[in-house]
Structure 1
Amino acid sequence: MASTSELACIHSALILHDVEVTVTEDKLNALIKTAGVTIEPFWPNQFAKALANINVNSLICNVGAGSSAPAAAAVVSTAALVAAEEKKEEKKEEESEESDNDIGFGPFD
Structure 2
Amino acid sequence: MKIKHQLLITHGLLVLLSILIVFVNVATYKGMDNDAVIVNYAGKLRYLSYNMSQIVNRIENNNDLEIKNTLLENLNVRVNDFDNIIDMLIEKNDFDIQNKNKPRLFIKD
TM-score by length of 2: 0.35
**Higher relative contact order, structure no. (Cα contacts within 8 Å, ≥ 6 residues apart):** 2
TM-score by length of 1: 0.35
